Amino acid sequence: MANVTRKPSKAKSRSRRAANQRIKQSLNLIECPNCHTKKLPHKVCGNCGHYGGKDILNLSKD
């Protein structure tokens, strides 16, 4: 197995972390048509459990 020959510089690692942070911040959230909260596209809503007009998770609020 190969050994690391040089330690990555602070600038290199911090630049990589900053790029990943930008990706996380630019998530395209959409509004759930059922409960009107923000959710990821093509995913079941975590608040009400609906997806595609159907109740998938059967989350009922009492």
* Structural domain boundaries in the chain: 10-55
What is the model's pTM?
Answer: 0.52
Is 22 strand, coil or helix? helix
Distance CA 34, CA 47 (A): 10
User: In this structure, are residues 35 and 45 in contact, taking their beta carbons and an 8 Å threshold?
Assistant: yes
Q: Which pLDDT score is estimated for 10? A: 95
Whether the predicted pLDDT of 26 surpasses 80: no
**Which is it for the CA torsion 61, 48, 27, 15, positive or negative?**
positive
Of all residues in the chain, the percent with pLDDT exceeding 90 is: 45
Section 29-54 average pLDDT: 91
